[in-house]
Chains A and B, each alone.
Chain A
Amino acid sequence: MRIPVKAVGAVAAMLLTTPALAGWEPTKPVEIVVAAGAGGASDQMARMMQAAIQKNSLMKQPIVVSLKGGASGAEALMYMKSSEGDPNKVLIAYSLIYMLPLSAKIPFNWRELTPVSVVALDQFVLWDNSAGPKTVKEFVAAAKAASAPFKMGGTGSKREDHVLTVFLEQKTGAKFSYLPYKSGGEAATQLVGNHTESNVNNPSENLEVWRAGQVRPLCVFDKERISYTTKVTDTQSWADIPTCKEEGVDVQYLMLRAMFLPGKVTAEQQAFYVELFHKVTQTAEFKDYMEKQALKPIFLTGKDMVQFLEEDDAVNKSLMTEAGFVAK
């Protein structure tokens, strides 16, 4: 008699834990919209989420990744804007939502979309070739002494990497010529090939060349060190990289990774995705990915998220204005 009792208990438990508001569910395949090219950090994250959702059966409908990296990601923003009321598209956003409307006058405002959740924060690290200077101080000294300005590789123009370069110049007094590449991967290989002296790539973009001993991390642009202490190379972990502030260069910048739905979707639809991405962040795939790519954990939704976005927007706007990147 015991077994049926257990089964009844299990069914009851299931009924109790099933959220009451399971009212809405996608009826069509869901699209994760990536505002960058194939193989970039956003694409990698989207594909990890796709795999996490499918492997853990978090959703009945299939999920597809659609790359809309045209016009430096503006294509994805306009696509989301024009998909008003369509609950089957989720944008995986990053700081371009603040910067592109300023630098290229794209008619887009993130407030027109429906915020779902902030899922991670991405770090920026100052890297040089492993044959180059070994510390920030030596690097700055070498940059100042060089006859031609040091070449700094980065992704796109008038974006995060470019802004960081400008602030690095302001704080150190060294001059850099900034080379805008199409992707972080390209910036990484160009640094390995000695075509640039440095870059400010995200950890994920330089991970493999760091492991191969071809580049050296000099400092991380955050107020505290990265928390992951597992060895990445033979001798170093992410936590071994000093902050730039420790090294005497007080420049800080973190980039959001957040999910948005198009505008004018219902509260139920929004709630479904908040729940979905909350579950995604609990999966082993997601946690593993966060550590591998040295992303900073965070999960914000609802009012907290909007407040975070408003503050982040203000920070980005002032940085862009100060760097002189706002189009007139």
Chain B
Amino acid sequence: MEAFGLLVHGFAVLLTWKTLVLMMVGLVLGIFVGVLPGLGGPNGVAILLPLTFTMDPTSAIVMLSCIYWGALFGGAITSILFNIPGEAWSVATTFDGYPMAQQGRAAEALTAAFTSSFIGSLVAVLLITFLAPMISSFALKFGPPEFFAVYLLTFCSFVGLGREAKHKTVISMSLGLLLAGVGMDTVSGQLRMTFGTAELLRGISFLVAVIGLFGISEILLTMEERLALRGHAASISLRVVLGVWKDLPKYWVTLLRSSFIGCWLGITPGGAIAASFMGYNLAKRFAKDPESFGKGRIEGVFAPETAAHASGTAALLPMLALGIPGSGTAAILLGGLMVWGLNPGPLLFVEHKDFVWGLIASMYLGNVVGLVLVLTTVPIFASILRVPFAAVAPMIVVSCAIGAYAIQNAMFDIWLMLGFGVVGYVFKKIGIPLAPLTLALVLGNRAEDAFRLSMIGAGGDLKVFWSNGLVGSITTLAIVLLFWPVLDRLLGHLTWARR
């Protein structure tokens, strides 16, 4: 097989002491930036990019991609221990990961998160290895209607499959869509809802909102409960790790499903965020006891983490093959490629074999090394829980504020973060879910643009969403998922009546 030969060649390029050291350095730096809320993968890679200018392209991309893997691993840590998603795609991990930490199962949750990250990435890398040439032509099939259909599918699956009351999900999602509209509208070139202020020009940053909604509101809630530390001291041991691994085969359906969703959404730039939510919702939908989700179920950690990492990894493929970055971090890596004089595109695979296959080989190695690294350093991270809350809380607030500020170097964002903190607190009190809001804030703009571009192209004809097999099946699936609860009941009645 040609791909296999090329991969072996890639490993040969990679296996030098220098590259291996760079890999370790990259992973440690990546975990570090992944743990800090708001700093995250894209910013970390951006800050460290200039370090690589003097390196040769292969070493540089190996180091940068290891920072990326590290950040992917690290994002799970704060989600589970503090209920603060370090990365957007870790939001869904908090749903069950944090309750697990509260029940004193932090080590178990972390092991589950890292293991599933590893599995997700591995599936995606395998896919990249063998499908690279074919996939680039598939991604080209995506025009505005197809993009819109994917976003619609994400929104609909959220409403239809969510555990919360439908009207509350819709309220939260609508608010997110409204906030996503703030700033410049690409299609008309006009400003919307900025009220003449320069601060609102750039729109509402998703990360600022997430840090406030999840991080600050959690601190407020905890304070209300008289500074009681939620969660217990966790000590990770080989026994816990092996225990989690032993149970892995039980969850093979969830792992496989999430890997598939992740790869698919990573290649069609739906992104890791949508993938993690979809992975979580589907796992819940197909579980025998959906009520147990959100209360500390290990599958609730497996599902989103596997999907997010499969997607994060698969997103590199359209970046290399087409120059379309599937994620923020991929966009920065794209900038890096160009600095090193490599232009992404179909020809990259032909003209720079060493580079492409070196990168793919580094995905395998980086993942294995990364898994070992995070598992062995988990005690350090888990020990954070032993520090008294009164000492940790101010540190979290400060690191949230730094994170919010660092995104745009804007003081305004810190106020915005505090505002979202209050919103998050109120929402948690009255039982409105936060996830639909964040999802809509991320995808709202893109979904709107895709819809309006489809309409301009088709002269306002809605039939464009059923104009070919690909877009038609995605749209139909979206609508089926939206009305799933109703359909489910109808089907139930029918089978009951037949008996």
A interface vs B, CB < 8 Å?
Answer: 37-39, 43-44, 47-48, 50-51, 54-55, 62, 64-65, 67-68, 70-72, 74-75, 78, 82, 103-107, 148, 151, 156-159, 162, 177-182, 185-186, 188-190, 192-193, 195-196, 207-209, 211-212, 214, 325, 327
Contacts and interface: CB of A to CB of B under 8 A. Distances in A.
Interface in B126-171: 140-144
A151 B457 contact: yes
B374 to A, nearest CB: 28
A47 B143 contact: no
A103 B50 CA distance: 36
A146 to B, nearest CB: 12
Contact of A159 (B46, B189, B190): B189
B231 interface: no
B201 A189 contact: no
B347 A70 contact: no
Given A39-B331, A62-B50, A105-B191, A72 B142 contact: no
B53 A195 contact: no
Given A38-B334, A72-B184, A193-B140, A180 B344 contact: no
A99 to B, nearest CB: 9
A196 B140 CA distance: 12
A208 B456 contact: no
B202 A71 contact: yes
B346 interface: yes
Contacts of A54: 50, 53-54
B291 to A, nearest CB: 41
Contact of B323 (A37, A39, A55, A68): A39
B140 A192 contact: yes
A158 B189 CA distance: 6
A211 B346 CA distance: 9
Contacts of A104: 184, 189-191
10 contacts: A44-B338, A51-B339, A70-B201, A71-B184, A72-B186, A157-B187, A179-B453, A181-B453, A185-B324, A186-B324
Given A74-B184, A104-B191, A50 B457 contact: no
Nearest to A209: B345
Given A157-B189, A179-B456, A212-B347, A38 B325 contact: yes
B50 A189 contact: no
A48 B184 contact: no
A147 B449 CA distance: 25
B472 to A, nearest CB: 16
A23 to B, nearest CB: 27
Contacts, number: 133
Contacts of A186: 324
B335 interface: yes
A157 B188 CA distance: 6
A74 B50 CA distance: 26
B181 interface: no
A177 B331 contact: no
A45 to B, nearest CB: 10
B140 A55 contact: no
B430 interface: no
A70 B142 contact: no
A48 B335 CA distance: 10
A212 B346 contact: yes
Contact of A212 (B46, B183, B202, B345): B345
Given A78-B201, A208-B345, A180 B144 contact: no
B229 interface: no
Contacts of A38: 325, 331-332, 334-335
B186 A193 contact: no
Interface in B300-351: 322-325, 331-332, 334-335, 338-339, 343-347
Contacts of B144: 179, 195
Contacts of A158: 188-189
Nearest to A73: B184
Given A179-B144, A195-B143, A208 B339 contact: no
Contact of B53 (A55, A71, A214): A55
Contacts of A185: 323-324
A193 B324 CA distance: 13
Contact of B343 (A162, A181, A208): A208
Given A54-B50, A104-B191, A180 B186 contact: yes
A54 B46 CA distance: 17
